[in-house]
Each structure stands twice: as structure tokens, then as C-alpha cells.
Amino acid sequence: MNDVFQGRVVIVGMGYIGLPTAVAIATRGIDVVGVDINPDVVNALSRGEVALVEPDLAVGVKGAVAMGHLTASLEIPQADAFIIAVPTPFHHDKTADLSCVEAAVRQIAPVLRPGNIVILESTCPPGTTEKVCEWVADLRPDLKTPIHGEGRTDVFFAHCPERVLPGRIMIEIIMNDRVVGGLTPACAEKAASIYRLFAKGEILLTDAASAEMAKLAENAYRDVNLAFANEISLISESLHIDVWEVIRLANRHPRVTILNPGPGVGGHCIPVDPWFIVSAAPDMAKLIRAAREVNDHRPHHVAEQVVEKARQFRAPTVACLGLTFKANVDDIRESPAIDVVGLIAQAMPELSILVADPYVHTLPERLGNYANLKLESPFKAVEKADIVVLLVEHETFRSLKNTRLSGKVVYDTRGIWH
């Protein structure tokens, strides 16, 4: 018989992961306190409002707050379970920056009581859950933790990574299978009792380091496959072979599925997380490092191709279509499209560049310093352009096919007009 969780949950970090998790738990009738260091986030949440754009999140927050099950705070109160969902970016040398995780642990430690569980949801290098336990053990020598060995444990520790897709978070947070890794089997079982409250996918119990590595392996797998597609694209282009035809034909093999190439790999997960594996095993992670380098080079290659085409005109106008890191969302984090536009603008200051994205209404900060850049509507940008560069396959751009593109030089990095 599985344990049923009862008690109060504190979630530290009210972002794209913490807030949907808070809603999922609170709407099951459990009291959840959402903690954030950003007063704007806390004030908005207290009013039942949310600044993040994610389908069904706003209505979920409004309902959970109105029912009184979701409250917000700048301070960490006492609770039965603490879930950490703070950012884990990397340093300049590509090693994981765990400062937000450590800050969260330092805030949690003083309020911990016997029987509590600390769950790390942030994506982290292998060994981080154990490190969290060590930090707590240092800060609270009065509490017994799993690092003290066999016997009674006062505080339990687990890693439960997220694998939701932005744009479908509220669905996937419920439906996806869930990896729950404990520092001990009892830790995993205790953590699972929380996820069983709302998860309809299977809950897979394991140890903490395997859960950490599984999450990183998922994103490295995606990155390596994208790098393969991008390399095939690069080679085909240099041999004057149509890469879309190559992929279409190769994918008719019953055991081959080559992904679509593109202008690079964006978002704040896939371009970041593989580096955590590389820094954990630098001498062994050869393929994973190479994939990162291939994908990081893509925006440079695309920009070089556009510049080469532009040099064949006297005073050309280039339309760059798409700025977000993927199609049909407004998220511009680590977007390779922005890198491409910036690199073109930098290489040819005399070029007139019109940028169009139905989801972006002001030029991103990174592009703010270029005088030769202007935001334009997609149709106007294409109308005025000599060269049209497709960077993101937003639905709006598909309808541009043939009619408006004739007579223009077209560089379609996503193959939607093929």
C-alpha cells in the first residue's frame, strides 16, 4: 500500500516549473506556499495573477489562490515538504552555477523538522542531491540525514527532474512519466507520495544520481540528434545537395529518424544541460561536447551564408523571419535566431535588416544596439526584402509560400517552404 502525502508543501522558485507544480498540488486540496525572491512574483501570485505565458496556467493559479490552497511568500515557512525549483544556469566555463540552489537550501535549513523531505526539481549535475544533503547536514547538525549512514533519518532527500514541454506544461506535468530518485529507497518512496497526488504518468523510483543523470541524458540525446541533423545539413549544403530531400529519403528507412536541421539549438535546457555531463566527465564526454559545439556553431554558419548572399546586391534589404527559440511560442531564451540576426547586423552594418516575429513585439535587448535593425510585420518585411531568411517555423510564415516569395533570394533554415 503506497503512502498518501498529507501536510503542507513549500515550493521555492515560482517560475515555469515551480508555479505549475504548485498549481498541480494545490488543486488536489493540499496547502502550498509558493516562495520567490522576486517581490513582483510574490505580489502578483498573492493576487492570483501570473506574469508567465503558458496555456491554462493563469486559470489554474486563479482557482488555487481563490480556494485558499495556494499562497505566496518571500520567506520560507515551516512545512512537511520543500521542493526546490530555482534556475541552474552555467558559468562562463560551462560548469553548473548552483548558487540559486545553495541559496534556497540555506533558507530552508533553519525551518527543517524531523520527518521533512527536501526535493530538488532543478536540473543539476550528478551528485547535487547529495551535496544538498551535505549542506543541510552542515547547517543543521542536530538533524540526522542519509549521509550519516544506516539507521534513523530525520530529513529525507530526493531528486525529481522535470521533462515538460513549454506550451504544454499544464498537461505534461500531469501526464508524463515521472522519475523520482531518492538518496535512500525511503527518500524515494516519501517523494513519490507527493507526485502521486497529481501525476497520472508512471512514477519510476530510483536513486538520486541516476535520476540526475537520466534528466541530463534526455537533453543530451536531443542535442546529439539535432547536431547530427545540423551536420548533415552543413555537408549537404557544401556539396550542393538538398538536405531536405536527403532527410526525406533517409527517413524512409524503417529504423532511421533524422530530425530537422535548423539555425541552432535554443531554450534554456538543451543548450545548457549537456555541459553538466561534459563538466562531470570531461575526458569521456567526447560526443556530447562535439554535439554542443556543432549546434553552437550553427548561427555563425547561417549568418555567414546570409552575408555571402547579401554581398551580391548593391544595397539589399534582408527580412529575418522569427526570433523565438522555437515555433509558436513567445520564449526567446538562448534563441539561435537572435544570434543569427545579431551576427548579420554586426557583419554588415550597411545592410537594412527587417525582423518579423508575430510573438515578439519589441526588439530583444541583445539586438537593441544595432542601428540597421527594425521590427516589421511579416508581410511588409517580405514585401520590402531582397533576401528572405526563415529562422523559426511559426504557423504564420507557412502561409507565405510561393505567392510573396517569388523573385527573392530565400534561405529557409527550417525547410517549411520546401
Ligand X SMILES: NC(=O)c1ccc[n+]([C@@H]2O[C@H](COP(=O)([O-])OP(=O)(O)OC[C@H]3O[C@@H](n4cnc5c(N)ncnc54)[C@H](O)[C@@H]3O)[C@@H](O)[C@H]2O)c1
Q: Annotated active-site positions, please?
A: 215, 269
Nearer to ligand X, 123 or 396 (CB): 123
Question: Of these, 24, 86, 112, 187, which contacts ligand X (CB under 6 A)?
Answer: 86
Range 104-163, binding ligand X (CB under 6 A): 104, 122-123, 162
DSSP state at residue 321: E
**Is 264 within 8 Å of 303 (Cβ atoms)?**
no
Q: Is 16 in the site for ligand X (CB under 6 A)?
A: yes
Choose among 165, 167, 191: nearest CA to 179: 191
Classify each residue of 351-383 as buried b or exposed e, where b means 16 or more C-beta atoms within 10 Å of its C-beta: bbbbbbbbbbeebbeebeebeebeebebeebbe
Distance of CA 26 to the CA centre of its chain: 24
What's the closest the beta carbon of residue 304 comes to ligand X, in angstroms? 31
The C-alpha cell that represents 333 in the structure block? 531564451
What's the closest the beta carbon of residue 334 comes to ligand X, in angstroms? 11
Q: Is 166 in the site for ligand X (CB under 6 A)?
A: yes
- What residues contact 109, with CB distance under 8 A and at least 6 apart? 135, 136, 139, 140
| 3-state SS class at 340 | helix
Q: Return the amino acid letter for 111.
A: V
Nearer to ligand X, 269 or 367 (CB): 269
The size of the interface with ligand X (CB under 6 A), counted in residues, is 25
- The whole-angstrom separation of Cα 85 and Cα 79 is 16
- What residues contact 313, with CB distance under 8 A and at least 6 apart? 386, 387
Question: Of these, 9, 10, 18, 265, which contacts ligand X (CB under 6 A)?
Answer: 18
**First CA to last CA across the chain, in angstroms?**
55
Nearer to ligand X, 98 or 192 (CB): 98
Q: Is 85 in the site for ligand X (CB under 6 A)?
A: yes
- The whole-angstrom separation of Cα 132 and Cα 104 is 10
Q: Is 53 in the site for ligand X (CB under 6 A)?
A: no
Question: Of these, 10, 13, 233, 288, which contacts ligand X (CB under 6 A)?
Answer: 13
Q: Is 335 in the site for ligand X (CB under 6 A)?
A: no
Q: Is 41 in the site for ligand X (CB under 6 A)?
A: yes
Nearer to ligand X, 35 or 382 (CB): 35
Which region among 3-11, 14-22, 111-119, 224-232 touches ligand X (by CB under 6 A)? 14-22
Using CB under 6 A, list all residues that contact ligand X.
Answer: 12-18, 35-38, 41, 85-88, 100, 103-104, 122-123, 162, 164, 166, 269
